[in-house]
Amino acid sequence: MRPLIYIMTPLLILTILLASRFVTWDAIKGVDRQAQIHAQEGTASLRSWELPQAIEAFTRAIEIEPRYAEAYVKRGLAYYRSQQYEPAIADYTETLKLKRYQADAYASRGDAYQSLGDMQRAIQDYSASLKQRRSNSVIQKRAETYFKHGDVQKALGDYDDLIKRKPTAMAYYGRGNVYLQLAIRGNEDRLKPALSDLDQAIALEPRFARAYICRAQVHAQFGDQTLANRDYNHAIGLLTDAIQKQLMLTLTKNIGVF
């Protein structure tokens, strides 16, 4: 019996993997095939940033299947990218009512609220998302929002948590920037930890232009204009390179069209 289990188990796993390539979760749940096709078209448009087409395709899917959670959450993203924040919030709220993609819907709705300047609701949604699933990017966003909202200690708490669990250039930059802003407001004892964090951010990501700009401000606060100018010039060089690469990429695409 045991040898048979050893033989059949891999075959069963292989069968499931092969089937998953052709059978989507929505098909299993009985979502109308035409609605799925519209959602697939919308997803392709969303990936290529053809946002009006994406919104239209997801809307057609929802008209066929009014409880199609995937279409709502993806249309919400298309609205968000189009800077139509109120419709995005409505779609994320509908997704939450359908009890699907909750971590993503809360986090995305938090992004929309933050874009509208509603920091309190953004924080609430980021926190709700984190209860569903831990995400370093959501913690980063909540930390930034806490700081914008004026809750410095909670912002630092989130950054401390990020750096403790998985130190990244963005986490060090975020905390370093908080320390810098506190120093500018009169807490000069925060300059040294600001400099230390920004050094760490640049060590992890040497082409992090914003970190160089922030560190230049720290050097200026210390009164060392030479080091400040060096960091400013380095940031300008990085930004210039990025702009040139983007222009070349755009020109290449345009040439390819003709």
Specify the 3-state DSSP secondary structure of 211: helix
Question: Is the model's pLDDT at 2 over the cut of 60?
Answer: no
Listed by start position, the domains of the chain span 167-258
- pLDDT tens digit sequence for 191-247: 999 999 999 999 999 999 999 999 999 999 999 999 999 999 999 999 998 888 888
Q: Tokens standing for 18? A: 């092969």
pTM, rounded to two decimals: 0.79
Question: Is the model's pLDDT at 113 over the cut of 90?
Answer: yes
131 contacts: CB under 8 Å, gap ≥ 6: none
Q: What is the pLDDT of residue 5?
A: 37
Question: Is the model's pLDDT at 39 over the cut of 90?
Answer: yes
Residue 83's pLDDT band (cuts 50, 70, 90)? very high
Which has the minimum average pLDDT: 22-31, 105-114, 158-167? 22-31
pLDDT average, residue stretch 72-80: 96
Q: Tokens standing for 98? A: 């359908």
pLDDT average, residue stretch 36-65: 94
pLDDT average, residue stretch 86-105: 96
d(CA 97, CA 69): 9
- Angstrom CA distances, 52 to 72, 84, 123, 220, 250, stand at 15, 11, 29, 46, 21
pLDDT average, residue stretch 38-46: 93
Q: What is the pLDDT of residue 14?
A: 35
- Angstrom CA distances, 222 to 105, 183, 232, stand at 43, 10, 15
82 contacts: CB under 8 Å, gap ≥ 6: 51, 52, 55
d(CA 111, CA 117): 10
Query: Residue 207 phi/psi, 5° resolution?
Result: -105, 25
Question: Is the model's pLDDT at 12 over the cut of 70?
Answer: no
Q: What is the pLDDT of residue 9?
A: 40
Class of domain 167-258: mainly alpha
**Which is more confident, 3 or 82?**
82
What sign has the CA pseudo-torsion 128, 132, 134, 136? negative
pLDDT average, residue stretch 160-164: 96
Mean pLDDT of the chain: 87
Half-sphere exposure of 80 (CA within 13 A, CB side): 22
Give 216: exposed, middle or buried? Use CB within 10 Å, 0-12, 13-18, 19+: buried
Locus of tokens 């800077």: 83
Q: What is the pLDDT of residue 17?
A: 37
Residue 16's pLDDT band (cuts 50, 70, 90)? very low
